Amino acid sequence: LPRRESFMLREVRQFPKMREIYGSLVFDKRAMKESLPKEAFNHIQAAMEGLQRLDSNIADTVAMAMKEWAISNGASHWAHWFHPLTELTAEKHTAFVTADDNGFPLESFCGSDLMQSEPDASSFPSGGTRSTFEARGYSAWDPTSPAFIIKSPKGGTLCIPSVFIAYDGTPLDLKTYLLRSTEAVETRALKMLKLFGNRGVRYVRATVGGEQEFFLLDRERARKRIDLRFCGRTLIGSPPPKDQKQEDHYFGTIPTRVLAYMEDVQRDLARLGVDLATRHNEASRCQFEFAPIFSEANKACDQNQLTMEIMRKLAPQHNLRLLFHEKPFMGLNGSGKHVNFSLQDNEGRNLLKPSSNHRKNIIFLSFLTSFVYGVSEYSGLLQASVSTSGNMHRLGGFEAPPAIISVYLGETVDKIINAIESEGQSEDLPAKNKIDLGLPKLPEILAFDSDRNRTSPLAFTGDKFEFRAPGASQAMSVPVTALLSVWAAGLEEFMTLLEKRINNGEEPITAAVSVIRELSIKSRKIRYEGDSYKNDWKEEAQKRGIVKGKTIPEGIDLFVEPKTLDMLENISVFKRREMEAFHTIRKEAFVKSNEVEMFILRDMIWEGVLPSISKQLLLEKSSYDMLVGQKIENMEKWSAHITKLAEAKVFLIEKTQELVDLKEKLSEKDVHEHALGIVSEVVPLMEEIRKMADSIEIYLSADNQFYPNYRSLFSLSS
């Protein structure tokens, strides 16, 4: 260890300071200012802020500057970088230099290349909105997220963040929906501020910061397990007993090799303009977390994708295996992606920040109430957005938020809302008095309120909301799109009521208090300040009527709840047809990943577990036979043990055959029936198989272990 430490110190010294490299591979404001004529620079800035449509006339100028900048930073290729509905990122690389008809080198990349590209769309899922013969789609530059260079050993690629759409305009990517949702919430928030008489404000932006949890394992050991290789999680393996503490002490600090990895990741991401504040997550062994500095929603989602990409790329260099799966290990904490979010005006003011100023506070409460009301009406959309196969094993456990969506406001805000609500019952009190109830004295320190409820899926954390249900492997844009849509819908309702009152001559702040009251009462059922892990909450939630999909497929179906479809169409985020296609894609993804798991489990049992049991049986039986005839007491216990091993083997043979048959049977059903079958038949059967395999694992000699066990996987010390 000491030798490694000094190696680390040397490494740190020889690497450049973060602030010197920060953003060096991003075609950001600074790079543009240096390389663009003033007029073009101003135009592009306005387009990047979303204030103006990009004029194709300046595209050539920008493309030229971007190309020069990219080549001088070592890039040889360019690509439109987009997020297909599969949740991964995709890119098609094109060289900057190609040969012309005479074989001479020709530098390409002009304005039209920058603005639009035409990857073959046929291999990306469309959920049936498009048949393969009309598989034409194009990607179009999204100037609101800056271009960047991904380095490769021999050069690099200029990546141009893009949307990806079919020729009939149907989105084939996640970003288009995300951008529609930011537009929906931002325009409404701006209108709301104007209703309150704030005329100076020019625009509002949704802000997002996603905390990324992950596991790191030793690569060689992880490689020996096909479940980790193909499914990203263990399908068998028994957790070490809870009191096995020896190694835990070591994990009080970040192991040196993990630290080296994290520093590499941070450095590479700093070059790409992603600012990570790292910290060790103590929840599980080998589990860690990165939290970025929050930014504008679209950029934050791109940056999270980029973070995951860079993390994946660098892990093998440190001989580590990175896991983003939501539940890689049974009995251990799973991994989430906590999505923090708020709204911010063009002056950088956070609209969810409480204030000691009475007027500002009412405005804050109006934005907060709008969101809570949106959730109470459309909680199904939020649940749908986190209903993925990975989350199937995480949500509802005792370490993650439950699948029932509720909102936690924290004691202070809850009290204020309750006060506003109850005052409403004595109608004759003048409005001013109603909120004098301690309200104007609301302390500034509320923003630093450390009052936390880790059991709630959606919590107000002082000056932002935090959605804790999204899974670690998910593309953040799906839950973010859902959150912002729900908020936009809540704002819409809030403003309808507010405008009515203002038009009747009420003063905006007074009117807002009444609307807060009205909508808070309506959304009472979704607010819960208690411990969401408790079983009584399930009963209580059932009574309140807020329990929606009980399984993941049912959760996915919440995407197409009639009222959600109407809402999404009203705020122009999803057309009905688009959502129906998206819904199908999510179902298919659920089915596919479970099918892979069925295959892999069967293979692991036959390749690993069954032969191991036979080897152990040989060992036991031969030594047992040697001793037969000698007077050893309780020999029958040993023979019973041998019988137990043999019975386990027979059981596993039978059950895996059942699994294969089941897979066959289900593959004939349509995707929805198939998904239901997975929940009702496959999952319980796989659990049965696992239980048996795990119960045998502990009786196998070290030589006869079928795969590296949990204890060995959790050793990172070498």
Handedness of CA 342, 346, 350, 354 (dihedral sign): negative
The letter for the amino acid at 136 is R
Indicate whether 553 belongs to the interface with ligand ADP (CB under 6 A): no
The minimum distance between CB 146 and ligand ADP, in angstroms, equals: 18
Comparing CB distances to ligand ADP, the nearer of 139 and 295 is 295
Comparing CB distances to ligand ADP, the nearer of 228 and 352 is 352
Tell me the C-alpha distance between 39 and 41, whole Å: 5
Indicate whether 209 belongs to the interface with ligand ADP (CB under 6 A): yes
The minimum distance between CB 211 and Mg ion, in angstroms, equals: 5
The minimum distance between CB 344 and ligand ADP, in angstroms, equals: 7
Binding partner of residue 523 among ligand ADP, Mg ion, none, CB under 5 to 8 Å per kind? none
By CB under 6 A, name the one of 208, 311, 368, 403 that touches ligand ADP.
208
541-565 per-residue burial string, b: 16 or more CB within 10 A, e: under 16: beebebbbbebbbbbbbbbbbeebb
Comparing CB distances to Mg ion, the nearer of 212 and 656 is 212
The minimum distance between CB 697 and ligand ADP, in angstroms, equals: 37
417 and 367 Cβ atoms separated by less than 8 Å: no
Indicate whether 211 belongs to the interface with ligand ADP (CB under 6 A): yes
Binding partner of residue 342 among ligand ADP, Mg ion, none, CB under 5 to 8 Å per kind? ligand ADP
Report how far apart the first and last C-alpha atoms of the chain are (Å, whole number).
9
Indicate whether 464 belongs to the interface with ligand ADP (CB under 6 A): yes
Indicate whether 340 belongs to the interface with ligand ADP (CB under 6 A): yes
User: How many alpha carbons fall within 13 Å on the CB side of residue 462?
Assistant: 9
The minimum distance between CB 449 and ligand ADP, in angstroms, equals: 11
Comparing CB distances to ligand ADP, the nearer of 466 and 697 is 466
Q: H/E element holding 212?
A: strand 204-218
Report the residue number whose CB is nearest to ligand ADP. Answer: 209
Helix extents (H) in 274-336: 297-314
Indicate whether 465 belongs to the interface with ligand ADP (CB under 6 A): no
Indicate whether 564 belongs to the interface with ligand ADP (CB under 6 A): no
Q: What is the largest CA-CA distance in the chain?
A: 103
619-647 per-residue burial string, b: 16 or more CB within 10 A, e: under 16: ebeeeeeeeeeeeeeeeeeeeeeeeebee
Comparing CB distances to Mg ion, the nearer of 299 and 338 is 338
Indicate whether 164 belongs to the interface with ligand ADP (CB under 6 A): no
Closest CA to 294 of 248, 260, 340: 340
The minimum distance between CB 370 and ligand ADP, in angstroms, equals: 16
Number of residues that bind ligand ADP (CB under 6 A): 16
Return the ∠ at Cα 116 (arms to 113 and 121), rounded to 5°.
120
526 and 348 Cβ atoms separated by less than 8 Å: no
DSSP state at residue 244: -
Q: Pick out residues in 281-340 that bind Mg ion (CB under 5 A).
A: 338
Q: Pick out residues in 612-671 that bind ligand ADP (CB under 6 A).
A: none
Look at strands 407-408 and 458-460 and give their pairing: parallel
The minimum distance between CB 410 and Mg ion, in angstroms, equals: 14
By CB under 6 A, name the one of 388, 461, 477, 485 that touches ligand ADP.
461
By CB under 6 A, name the one of 195, 254, 291, 404 that touches ligand ADP.
291
Stretch that binds ligand ADP, among 118-126, 292-300, 320-328, 504-512 (CB under 6 A): 292-300
The minimum distance between CB 267 and ligand ADP, in angstroms, equals: 19
Indicate whether 207 belongs to the interface with ligand ADP (CB under 6 A): yes
Indicate whether 355 belongs to the interface with ligand ADP (CB under 6 A): no
The letter for the amino acid at 290 is F
User: How many alpha carbons fall within 13 Å on the CB side of residue 209?
Assistant: 17
Comparing CB distances to Mg ion, the nearer of 95 and 447 is 447
Indicate whether 410 belongs to the interface with ligand ADP (CB under 6 A): no
Given 3-state DSSP classes, what are the helix, strand and coil percentages for the chain, each rounded to the nearest 5? 55, 15, 30
Indicate whether 389 belongs to the interface with ligand ADP (CB under 6 A): no
By CB under 6 A, name the one of 45, 350, 704, 715 that touches ligand ADP.
350
Give the DSSP per-residue string, 527-571. B--S-TTSHHHHHHHHHHT----SSHHHHHHGGG-HHHHHHHHHT
The minimum distance between CB 287 and Mg ion, in angstroms, equals: 15
Tell me the C-alpha distance between 209 and 470, whole Å: 13
Name beta bridge partners: 107.
97
Name the residues that contact Mg ion, by CB under 5 A. Answer: 338
Name the residues that contact ligand ADP, by CB under 6 A. Answer: 207-209, 211, 291-294, 340-342, 350, 461, 463-464, 466
